[in-house]
């Protein structure tokens, strides 16, 4: 059977404000509009993960905002792919959770001579993160209305300081136009059965072991750049087709900590004292070969503790073979980005339990 593309073109209007998470950003307080246009597609079960997540929408979006016409902040442009997960679906009504991650460009950045008031961002190119809860109502065969509340975030992950980041909470409304007739066969799709009883009697435990390297441009603060080395292990227990829970252990070595401690009068006689071991709880959301991972952790050691004993890691993991994957990770302390790490890892899966054949 041939399926239509289920493509929709949508325009959205936001109205929000800059959330001043640091006192240095309060000077930029103000309300302003944000504009978005996106192209999205309703999935129809071509892949198993689409059926498992209730046929989400996937698409790509272009976003623009003047950031309140601040001469220090300038304007922001962003392009990001996104996925829109349906949480509630009833006839013509849907309630969704949308997540997007892409690239943002800010026309103004910090410069100690020409733009010293902009302590929010130290680079033109930044990561762009978009999260939103939205309600959608199909008005006609072609038109869909939407209303939502979300957060737009720009940050460079401390690749270049300063990096307080920009957080923009906003309400929004939009209208989408379907470019072709709707594929009405979605409701007839089903998840093919597994082997008889195997899903019940067989279990698995998974080990992800990886390394990543981070880069911190701290010339504006400490006069040079520094490397960050990160070694980790995550142990996961799959609980269903789309979720895994577990725990992890990691070690991070940040070269900048020696300079930071010495600037406070702490003499670092052994550089191993800046090694920070940590334990954490781990969760993975699985989308075929792509995994979204969240770790909430606690440091067990390390001299540098200015950010507190707790940390968070947000990672994307892509399996390019059965046993190996690539990973990009954002290390965070209470919402403030520390660094971005890039790396590779080994995936080991151990299956146990009795397998029964019908």
| 244, β-bridge pairs | 238, 284
Task: Judge if 13 and 141 occupy the same domain.
Answer: yes
- pLDDT averaged over the chain? 88
Q: What is the pLDDT of residue 203?
A: 79
Task: Judge if 224 and 330 occupy the same domain.
Answer: yes
Domain end point (choices 170, 188, 206): 188
| Residues 218-261: tens digit of each pLDDT | 776 677 889 999 999 999 999 887 899 999 999 999 999 998 89
Could you tell me if 233 and 208 are in contact, meaning their C-beta atoms sit under 8 angstroms apart? yes
- What is the DSSP-derived secondary structure letter of residue 200? H
State how far the Cα of 294 lies from the Cα of 312, in Å rounded to an integer.
Answer: 7
Task: Judge if 37 and 169 occupy the same domain.
Answer: yes
Any idea what the CATH number is for the domain that residue 78 is in? 2.40.160.20
In a domain, residue 154? The reply is yes
Q: What is the pLDDT of residue 355?
A: 59
For the cut 90, the answer to whether the pLDDT of residue 77 exceeds it is yes
In a domain, residue 1? The reply is no
Q: What is the pLDDT of residue 1?
A: 39
Find, among 13, 82, 71, 5, the residue nearest to 44 by Cα.
Answer: 5
Task: Judge if 264 and 150 occupy the same domain.
Answer: no
Report which of residues 130 and 113 the model is more confident about: 130
Domain end point (choices 188, 215, 247): 188
For the cut 60, the answer to whether the pLDDT of residue 2 exceeds it is no
User: Which residue range(s) make up the domain with 258?
Assistant: 198-353
In a domain, residue 103? The reply is yes
For the cut 90, the answer to whether the pLDDT of residue 216 exceeds it is no
Average pLDDT of the residues in 31-60: 89
Return the minimum-mean-pLDDT range out of 301-305, 327-331, 349-353: 349-353
Distances (CA, A) of 33 to 64, 72, 167, 176: 9, 18, 14, 19
* Buried-state track 304-325, b at ≥16 Cβ within 10 A, e below 16: beeeeeebbbbbbbebeeeeeb
In a domain, residue 193? The reply is no
Average pLDDT of the residues in 59-73: 93
Return the minimum-mean-pLDDT range out of 33-37, 335-339, 344-348: 335-339
Q: What is the pLDDT of residue 195?
A: 46
Return the minimum-mean-pLDDT range out of 100-109, 275-284, 326-335, 341-350: 326-335
Q: What is the pLDDT of residue 126?
A: 94
pTM of the model: 0.79
Confidence of residue 328 (pLDDT cuts 50, 70, 90): very high
Return the minimum-mean-pLDDT range out of 13-17, 115-119, 253-257: 115-119
Task: Judge if 161 and 309 occupy the same domain.
Answer: no
In a domain, residue 219? The reply is yes
- State which of 43-47, 86-90, 311-315 shows the largest mean pLDDT: 311-315
Domain end point (choices 145, 166, 188): 188
Task: Judge if 45 and 118 occupy the same domain.
Answer: yes
| Residues 144-175: tens digit of each pLDDT | 999 999 999 999 887 888 888 899 999 999 99
Task: Judge if 108 and 217 occupy the same domain.
Answer: no
Task: Judge if 230 and 318 occupy the same domain.
Answer: yes
Report which of residues 269 and 93 the model is more confident about: 93
Tokens of residue 317, six digits = 């993991």
Task: Judge if 169 and 59 occupy the same domain.
Answer: yes
Confidence of residue 30 (pLDDT cuts 50, 70, 90): confident
Distances (CA, A) of 52 to 49, 98, 284, 291: 5, 16, 15, 14
State the DSSP H helix or E strand holding residue 312, giving kind and residue range, or none if neither.
strand 310-319
Task: Judge if 35 and 179 occupy the same domain.
Answer: yes
Q: What's the domain count of the chain?
A: 2
Tokens of residue 144, six digits = 């869909």
Distances (CA, A) of 251 to 203, 298, 300: 29, 11, 10
In a domain, residue 2? The reply is no
Q: What percent of the chain is modeled with pLDDT above 90?
A: 60
In a domain, residue 358? The reply is no
State how far the Cα of 199 lies from the Cα of 51, in Å rounded to an integer.
Answer: 17
In a domain, residue 328? The reply is yes
Task: Judge if 183 and 202 occupy the same domain.
Answer: no
Return the minimum-mean-pLDDT range out of 2-16, 71-85, 278-292, 324-338: 2-16
Q: What is the pLDDT of residue 354?
A: 63
* Cβ-based burial of 272 (10 A; exposed 0-12, middle 13-18, buried ≥19): exposed
State how far the Cα of 204 lies from the Cα of 351, in Å rounded to an integer.
Answer: 4
Report which of residues 334 and 279 the model is more confident about: 279
Task: Judge if 255 and 204 occupy the same domain.
Answer: yes
């Amino acid at each position: 059977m041939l399926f239509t593309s289920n493509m929709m073109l949508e325009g959205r209007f936001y109205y929000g404000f800059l959330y001043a998470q640091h006192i240095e950003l309060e000077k930029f307080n103000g309300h302003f509009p944000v504009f978005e246009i996106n192209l999205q597609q309703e999935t129809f079960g071509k892949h198993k993960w689409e059926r498992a997540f209730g046929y989400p929408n996937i698409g790509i979006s272009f976003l623009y905002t003047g950031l309140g016409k601040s001469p220090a902040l300038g304007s922001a442009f962003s392009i990001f792919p996104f996925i829109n997960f349906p949480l509630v679906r009833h006839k013509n009504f849907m309630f969704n959770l949308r997540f997007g991650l892409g690239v943002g460009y800010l026309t103004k950045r910090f410069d100690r001579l020409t733009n010293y008031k902009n302590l929010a961002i130290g680079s033109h190119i930044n990561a762009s993160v978009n999260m939103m809860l939205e309600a959608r109502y199909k008005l006609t065969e072609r038109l869909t209305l939407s209303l939502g509340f979300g957060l737009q975030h720009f940050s460079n992950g401390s690749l270049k300081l300063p990096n307080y980041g920009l957080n923009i909470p906003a309400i929004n409304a939009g209208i989408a136009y379907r470019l072709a007739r709707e594929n009405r066969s979605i409701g007839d799709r089903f998840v093919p059965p597994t082997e008889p009883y195997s899903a019940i009697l067989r279990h698995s435990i998974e080990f992800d072991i990886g390394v990543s390297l981070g880069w911190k441009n701290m010339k504006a603060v400490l006069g040079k750049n520094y490397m960050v080395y990160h070694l980790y292990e995550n142990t996961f227990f799959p609980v269903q087709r789309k979720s895994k829970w577990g725990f992890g252990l990691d070690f991070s070595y940040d070269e900048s900590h020696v300079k930071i401690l010495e600037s406070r009068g702490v003499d670092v006689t052994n550089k191993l004292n800046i090694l920070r071991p940590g334990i954490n709880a781990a969760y993975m959301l699985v989308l075929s070969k792509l995994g979204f991972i969240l770790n909430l952790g606690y440091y067990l050691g390390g001299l540098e503790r200015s950010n507190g004993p707790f940390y968070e890691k947000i990672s994307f993991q892509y399996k390019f073979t059965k046993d190996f994957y690539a990973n990009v990770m954002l290390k965070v302390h209470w919402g403030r980005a520390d660094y971005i790490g890039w790396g590779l890892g080994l995936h080991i899966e151990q299956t146990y339990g009795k397998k029964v054949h019908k």
